[in-house]
Amino acid sequence: MSSLNLDDFTDLIERPDGGTRRDAEARRERQIVPPGSLGRLDDLGEWLAAAQGSSPVRPIDRPRVVLFAGDHGVAGLGVSARPAGSAAESVREVLEGGRPVSVLARRLGVPVRVVDMALDCEPDAFPPDVVRHRVRRGSGRIDVEDALTLPEAEAAFLAGVAVADEEADSGTDLVVLGDVSVGGTTAAGVLVAALCGTDASVVTGRGGEAIDDLAWMRKCAAIRDALRRARPVLGDQLQLLATVGGADLAAMTGFLLQCAVRKLPVVLDGVVAAACALVGQRVAFRAPDWWLAGHKSGEPGQAKALDRMALEPLLDQGVTLGEGAGALLALPLVQAAAALAAELPEKPEAADEKAGEDHAGDEGADGGADGGADATVEGSAAE
């Protein structure tokens, strides 16, 4: 039995500020282009204002990409286009600047943070700041065994919470969340199928590098077998992550929930992030109000999870790779929405009307003060 009480997140997580959102909507009504003419950018700007508790919205100046990394034992069944245990190679390429997310982040001026939770390599293969939250070497083969022990799942979840606190405390104002894993989409498919009550075939996709038909059938069978193991523990989200998740997925779930506690907006990448968000929603129903779906990855499990959370992807560019690349493409859109909401001027008549209201309010306040003074004088004279 875990000592961690996930129910606490229900009380800790509030919705974004509704009053501020109404202020942002009223401000939008006064701007020079008609409301709705900017499409989803209007909604994004108002969402950001509510998340920040600020109208006008502040610019997104300190975004960061956070990638949780791990290897999954189920990859040994040949369910991925990449060899089992090879996620460390991708992590090294990310850190050296050679992966798509690295190129995009460099171009956009966004720092990338990689958190090793369960890579199948020696801990000294990477710098201490990458490996200091590691829970174990690889996660178990979820079709026949648990991914983690319950204490390991708790440690991974709390590591995600700690990373969220570190980001919030450092001044990060928006996170692009992704994963670097081999076998991670299989574990994600199990979580989505279990939480949505669907069959394995409904959530089984081709992964980031388009597996062939035989590999897809092996992946579908692995999800089916793991799903049988997941159903008995559906009522306990931490046990679910221990049984069919993995250290990286448990950490991402803790990270997402704590970001919602700290009022730190998150842009979700692909199916792995979406699956963890779905677990987070089961823990605290208000948590998805703090998240955006960055892009449509083409994975059926992602589509199922986002539909359950009522999150609509911002982009659909056919990016299937994962590793945060697709979600990072959505960052300029979010930043553009913030800039438009804050910097578009108001219509002259709206500005004059608002100034008149402010002036009338000032006069009313002065009149109230004068009236009070006269009453005091008259009262003194009467005495």
Q: Alpha carbon of 149 to those of 3, 15, 161, 196, 364: distances in Å?
A: 14, 33, 19, 24, 67
Helical (H) or strand (E) element with 179: strand 174-182
Contact 225, 240 (CB under 8 A): no
Give φ, ψ of 178 to 5 degrees.
-145, -175
What are the residue ranges of helices labelled H in the chain? 8-12, 18-30, 40-52, 87-96, 100-108, 128-131, 150-169, 184-196, 200-203, 213-230, 237-244, 247-261, 271-283, 300-309, 325-329, 331-343, 348-382
Residue of 323, 343, 363, 378 marked active site: 323
Closest CA to 6 of 299, 283, 329, 352: 283
Question: How far is 325 from 184, CA to CA, in rounded Å?
Answer: 16
Question: How far is 231 from 224, CA to CA, in rounded Å?
Answer: 11
Q: Give pairs for 317-321: CB < 8 Å, separation 24+.
A: 319/295, 320/206, 320/207, 320/208, 320/209, 320/210, 320/270, 321/100, 321/208, 321/209
Half-sphere exposure of 303 (CA within 13 A, CB side): 11
Based on the residue annotation, tell me whether 323 is a catalytic residue of this protein.
yes
Question: How far is 43 from 331, CA to CA, in rounded Å?
Answer: 15
Pair of tokens at residue 201: 């075939």
Question: How far is 238 from 93, CA to CA, in rounded Å?
Answer: 31
DSSP output for 133-178: T---SSB--TTTS-SS-HHHHHHHHHHHHHHHHHHHHTT--EEEEE
- Return the active site residues: 323
